[in-house]
Amino acid sequence: MIRALVTGAGGFIGSALAEELLARGYAVRAMTHRPHALPSGVESAAGDLTDPDSLRGVADDCTWVFNCAGYAHATDSDAGRHRAVNFQGVANLAKEARRAGVRTFVQFSSVKAQTPAADDAYGQAKLAAERALAASGLERIAILRPALVYGPGCKGNLARMFEAVRLRRLPPLPRVHNRRSLIDLRDLISVALLAAQDTPLGTSVYTVTDGRAYSTRDIQDEMYLALGRAPPRWGLPAWGLTALAAVSRRARGSVERLLGDAWYDSEPTVQRLGFRPRYQLSDGLRAMLRENQ
């Protein structure tokens, strides 16, 4: 039987992956700081990515390793933590996986690792980890670079935006034509399993999106619809937000995220893995609502 090691198995992505592996009949070993939260049937393994000695044996008898563990706070003030966990921790795990004879190592990286876009501590550490994996000597490496991931249990900007819309605290945004990429958690898990099964020898990098380009207002309108509300016909003027960003450093980052582009081409992933997204943003938003009811 194929056995898979899932690190970060108590997190948003790792927990969903562990459950899907179990559902498909695979043996699952999970490394997490919250073993009490693991589903029945999952083997718990203790380990810390930043402590190489603690990783000894965690990948023994495993065919696949899925590294979902990481430090996600994208602030440059945490650069040391990003490097310790997101770079050196991955290198430590790769070394142990190679010793254990793992067939395929699947790394959950980020679109922020794409050069020259890797311009913050998080993206730089993710890119350094990718390079360390490529030099690790592992037989097969699949690097997943997902766009913004949404679904039940997600946190971050999209979840906060959805809550603000639900509570009527976010006015209708401008209808600017920016382009952003997203991916439903369930589709990301499907890509991870395809990559584990079909990645060729060497290192392969897969950008993972649902193939669509959303404006920020498109996303907000989908949120209105998921909540059973008609999207307003009006929106704030873009020039008003731009002016706010010009005079307020605190607001600048938020405005840039709202009006800026973050679109990525995932067509090569579609071609190489035969991946076809099954879920739309509306599906994921409704699933998020059901979870919170």
C-alpha distances (whole Å) from 124 to each of 105, 109, 132 are 20, 11, 12
Q: Which helix (H) or strand (E) holds 188?
A: helix 185-198
Q: Is the pLDDT assigned to residue 111 strictly greater than 60? A: yes
Confidence grade of residue 117 (pLDDT, cut at 50, 70, 90) = low
Q: Is the pLDDT of residue 183 over 80?
A: yes
Lowest mean pLDDT among 62-71, 159-168, 256-265: 256-265
DSSP 36: G
pLDDT category at 291 given cuts 50, 70, 90 is confident
Q: How far apart are CA 163 and CA 173, in angstroms?
A: 15
pLDDT at 57 over 70: yes
Among 70, 94, 74, 88, smallest CA distance to 128 is for 88
Phi, psi (deg, nearest 5) at residue 66 = -115, 110
- At residue 77, the pLDDT reads 66
pLDDT of residue 82: 87
Name all contacts of 131-138 with Cβ < 8 Å and 24+ positions apart.
Answer: 132/87, 132/90, 132/91, 132/94, 133/90, 133/91, 133/94, 133/105, 133/107, 133/203, 134/203, 136/91, 136/94, 136/95, 136/98, 136/105, 137/98, 138/94, 138/97, 138/98, 138/102, 138/105
- Whether the predicted pLDDT of 116 surpasses 90: no
User: Crossing angle of helices 281-292/216-226, nearest 10°?
Assistant: 50
Q: Strands 43-45, 182-184: parallel, antiparallel or unpaired by DSSP?
A: unpaired
Question: Rounded CA gap, 50 and 38, in Å?
Answer: 22
pLDDT at 293 over 80: no
- Token look-up 């005079």 returns 247
User: Which residues pair with residue 262 across a beta bridge?
Assistant: 180
Q: Which pLDDT score, from 0 to 100, does residue 73 have?
A: 66
Burial 176-215 (b: 16+ CB within 10 A, else e): bebbbbbbbbbbbbbbbbbbbeebeeebbbbbbbbbbbbb
What is residue 246's predicted lDDT score, i.e. its pLDDT?
79
Supply the pTM of this predicted model: 0.94
pLDDT score of 235 more than 80: yes
Confidence of residue 250 (pLDDT cuts 50, 70, 90): confident
Q: What is the model's pLDDT at position 108?
A: 99
Strand-pairing partners, residue 105, are 65, 141
Q: Are 231 and 225 in contact (CB under 8 A)?
A: yes
CA 131 to chain centroid: 19
Domains in the chain: boundaries: 1-146
CA distance 188 to 147: 10
pLDDT class of 76 with cuts at 50, 70, 90: low
Question: Residue 229 pLDDT > 90, yes or no?
Answer: yes
Question: Residue 74 pLDDT more than 60?
Answer: no
Percentage of the chain exceeding pLDDT 90: 78
- The backbone torsions φ and ψ at residue 115, rounded to the nearest 5 degrees and listed phi first, read -85, 145
CA dist 203 and 207 (Å) reads: 13
Tell me the per-residue pLDDT of 148-163, one tens digit each, with 9 for 90 and over: 999 999 998 999 999 9
- Whether omega for the bond prior to residue 52 falls within 30 degrees of 0, making it cis, is no
CATH of domain 1-146: 3.40.50.720
pLDDT score for 152: 95
On the question of pLDDT at 192 being above 90, the answer is yes
